[in-house]
Chain A
């Protein structure tokens, strides 16, 4: 089946989904990251300012996750079914994590006595969401058993050394994005606090990468990973190199005076990693068994849903830009 060429509409929807994943990671990544960093300080003033830097944005950022889910179901129902079947428990954990994160923003200010509950939910929710997303990427690279266009494995098959390391990597990576965001959006104590963490987190991401690659090529090798390494071509190499230097740049500029640099370079690092992964996977959506063409819904469905995308996606994009514009600049902790 893999020889079939995908139609233009299938390519359109694959592009929409790929772009939505990239946007989601760069945007929700920083607010999840701030949630992770939130749990590493007890200082209430610092915590409040951290919340304030992401309060207007986080929910809009999560919108892109729903765009991904809805587009997958409509345009590539088989991938939607296989992916959610394979990650039954991680998806459950992610949804619970997202709920706790979401309610923390409103509920923590309702109570003094119970605040620790919502704060704990915010921190652990953030860690869990980041971890399962990273682990899912690792497990996807290891390969997912598919029979008759359905997942054919167990609920804990994703739990392997390599996915655990990619999960850990994404927790650190999102925390790095979050630290970069805090440097960008805050001043004074929080900015200094976050700057110090940018440096160490960037080093930590480096430190996870080595073992992850080593584990992937030795103890945790799988047919999927063999195929992935065989597909590592010039494009992947260039993308990986860009990612490498971007991360080096984060370390170098961590103590610098340009507040936008840590976030921008971390974002570049994520984009490069995303492109490297995507080029190794293409044209597969579930590596290496289901291609874009295999999984695409019939043309009649893609066309019918095209109008929804053509109307809704630009509005969602404009809304996203508008919110970031309205809340541009630094956030102060208190009004005088």
Chain B
């Protein structure tokens, strides 16, 4: 494949957004988890919830900080690399993404600060309220991102005036039917991802025989949430697939590696899609099931890629495997969740070491599912950046050269390797050490410096600085 600014810009965007999404996804789930813990503590008065809360609050703070920094870089990508997109659709995407930035600020400037620094300054009821507002705020943040992306997937509520794409109906743009299945899909993904991380952390402690009391709570809640939410997610995921079938038939055909029109259509479980030959090698398939999954009828006709002009074809391999990896991860999480519940019910959970190992090793499953799902959605939308309205190849900043993007991509890769590597290692260390004393806010730290919060007070010299009395 030849290098050109479009391809390199796509790689750069994919690289930056993949590193970014890990943190907000984790943060959304953790915020809800923290609100739950605080609610449980208020309700039961059990101090174990407080210890677990203080521990996860540190992880949350670091994750939030990493999300903010990597998000700032994202905010400039639309202008630097996708100038035509920014200019042509900015009247819709600009306000949506602007709402997201402002939501994040509101959060940082208000309840997030209370959550990090206000434990001893506000009443327990208000503190719990602040936790709930932070959880809501992270969800709103994702709401705007999903509204923006859903509009790029299935543009609605706009009209074209003098070649410019302008908003006509904001309600339709923000609350369209596609948005209303994709946002819950993302929220559930975030919740389940965090649930798996919480369960895996608990399993890790049991395997090492440390923090047993806290570990039990984490295992119960993490596995329980995964067991309950995963079936819901499979259903919502199915609805998401239906929107693809209805609005993006070429993407649907690519995900299913269906080259020719079929009636009834078979379901290809695994294969190697060969684009040159337009057929699947080593295919494992079942007749008629494809029709049933898409339409609920066993003998419906489904479109293959042959029905579309080849210049409108998305790549096939990435959506095909991305989708299957996502579903595979979902099934693993479902299995771990249900098996965990069964073992808990029969009282063997904390003695079944192989299962604890399996739970521990499931730590990344949610992240893998989120990334592969997003790759399916975004690569499957190609060759369009805004489906049916603007081609990706026409959206790039016209002045960019190959060397410009090579330079920026290399620099981002190097800096992120150091910075995200260090941040991830830091979260790992926090998780490894486990719950200890109370999280101590450092004097001089504000809500916009969550990393300082997660630190131990005595190692931060800034903490020794103080105001003159």
Contact = CB atoms under 8 A, between A and B. Distances in A.
A99 B415 contact: yes
A81 B79 contact: yes
Contacts of B75: 66, 69-70, 73
B397 A88 contact: yes
Contacts of B167: 298, 300-301, 304
Contacts of A52: 444, 462, 465
A49 B467 CA distance: 12
Interface residues of A, number: 75
A332 B466 contact: yes
B72, B444, B455, B465 pick with most chain A CB within 10 angstroms: B465
B95, B404, B451, B466 pick with most chain A CB within 10 angstroms: B95
A304 B99 CA distance: 10
Contacts of A245: none
Interface stretch (B22-30, B80-88, B239-247, B297-305): B80-88
B449 interface: yes
Interface residues of B, number: 67
B73 interface: yes
Given A150-B399, A300-B168, A66 B101 contact: yes
Q: Is the interface of B mostly helix, strand, loop or mixed?
A: helix
Contacts of A154: 399, 401
A109 B86 contact: no
A150 B95 contact: no
Contacts of A73: 75, 78-79, 86, 90, 93-94, 97-98
Given A85-B397, A304-B167, A316 B105 contact: yes
Contacts of A110: 455, 459
Contacts of A80: 78-79, 86-87, 90, 94
Contacts, number: 238
Contacts of B465: 48-49, 52, 55, 331-334
A215 B445 CA distance: 44
A98 to B, nearest CB: 7
Interface stretch (A202-210, A226-234, A262-270, A307-315): A307-315
Contacts of B99: 305, 308
Interface string B383-416: 0000000000000011111011001100110010
Given A55-B444, A70-B101, A95 B106 contact: no
Contact of B455 (A109, A298, A311): A109
Given A56-B446, A105-B462, A77 B467 contact: no
B76 interface: yes
12 contacts: A73-B78, A73-B90, A73-B94, A81-B84, A92-B412, A103-B451, A105-B451, A109-B459, A300-B168, A300-B170, A301-B92, A305-B98
Given A77-B94, A103-B422, 18 more contacts: A56-B444, A73-B97, A74-B90, A74-B97, A88-B80, A96-B415, A110-B455, A150-B397, A153-B399, A154-B399, A155-B399, A298-B164, A304-B167, A315-B110, A328-B467, A329-B468, A332-B465, A332-B466
